[in-house]
Amino acid sequence: MAPRPDQPTLASALVPEQPTLADLVAAAARCQACELWSSGTQTVFGAGPPEAELMLVGEQPGDREDLEGAPFVGPAGKVLDRGLRAAGIARDQAYATNVVKHFKWTPRGKRRLHQTPNAAEQAACRPWLDAELAVVRPKVLVALGATAATSLLGRGFRVSRDRGRFVESSLAPYVLATVHPSSILRSRDDDERRAAMDGFVADLAVAASVLRGQGATPFAAEDGP
């Protein structure tokens, strides 16, 4: 684990000028912009090719991600992999990250249970996500779940109402939201799980159509992220 600084520092002060992704990973390892660094094993930064046309943004790393130091490597990541394959998207061609880079959890016996990061924690981590967007400059940005969607698109956005369709945003030419793959794991039975997966794949297929050059005219980005 990377050493921590003696005093908390705002993330914006740690972001290098004109960084590469490697620069951002190294700088974020020292981040103490909110209290989550103290309970997480390590900073879990985004991963994927710097020239990726597709960026996937979730809420935060989970238990496996926190231990392994990589995004979407746990059970929800396996669901994401299946969804991407079914939609015709190669996972290794996508850049995957989270709104918050540390695992927020509460103990339950020997288990660490996920807790949703609050608005202050999301805001403290936002400079890292903005920096990732500036470096990668994805053609398509997909928010996974309600936390990512509202963080990126505003509190008025509702995944249940607006999922699977492009919305206007300065963050990328094409921006849409879908459910977080972890929600599929929480389905009550096989039928519900199958329907949830079908909907997830359908949303990802909208993104895939753009990546194949078959999508609609993009919304114009204004000033970047």
pLDDT digits (tens, 9 = 90+) for 7-42: 446 899 999 999 999 999 999 999 999 999 999 999
What is the distance between the alpha carbons of residues 101 and 23, in angstroms, rounded to a whole number? Answer: 15
Distance between terminal CA atoms of the chain?
Answer: 30
Strands of 99-214, DSSP E = 105-108, 111-114, 140-144, 174-178
Q: Give the span between the Cα atoms of 68 and 96, in whole angstroms.
A: 15
103 Cβ contact list (under 8 Å, min separation 6): 36, 39, 40, 41, 44, 60, 61, 62, 63, 65, 66, 112, 114
Alpha carbons 150 and 145: distance in angstroms, whole number: 9
Position 122 confidence tier, pLDDT thresholds 50, 70, 90: very high
Helices (runs of H) and strands (runs of E) counted in the chain = 9, 6
* pLDDT for residue 225 is more than 50: no
pLDDT in tens, 124-150: 999 999 999 999 999 999 999 999 999
Give the residue-averaged pLDDT of 68-92. Answer: 97
Domains of the chain are 11-211 (3.40.470.10)
Q: Hey, what are 164's tokens?
A: 């699977």
pLDDT digits (tens, 9 = 90+) for 43-77: 999 999 999 999 999 999 999 999 999 999 999 99
Tell me the C-alpha distance between 132 and 25, whole Å.
10
Q: Please tell me the predicted confidence (pLDDT) of residue 156.
A: 95
Give CA torsion, residues 86, 172, 104, 64, to 10 deg: 30
- Separation of alpha carbons 126 and 43, rounded Å: 14
Tell me what pLDDT residue 5 has.
42
Contacts of 22 by beta carbon, 8 Å cutoff, 6+ apart: none
Please check whether residue 60 is in contact with residue 100, taking contact to mean a CB–CB distance below 8 angstroms.
Answer: yes
Q: What angle do CA 70, 200, 74 make, to 5 degrees?
A: 25
Provide the pLDDT for residue 213. 87
Mean pLDDT (whole number) for 98-110 = 96
**Average pLDDT in the 84-95 region?**
97
Tokens 């967007």 -> residue: 133
State mean pLDDT over 175-202: 98
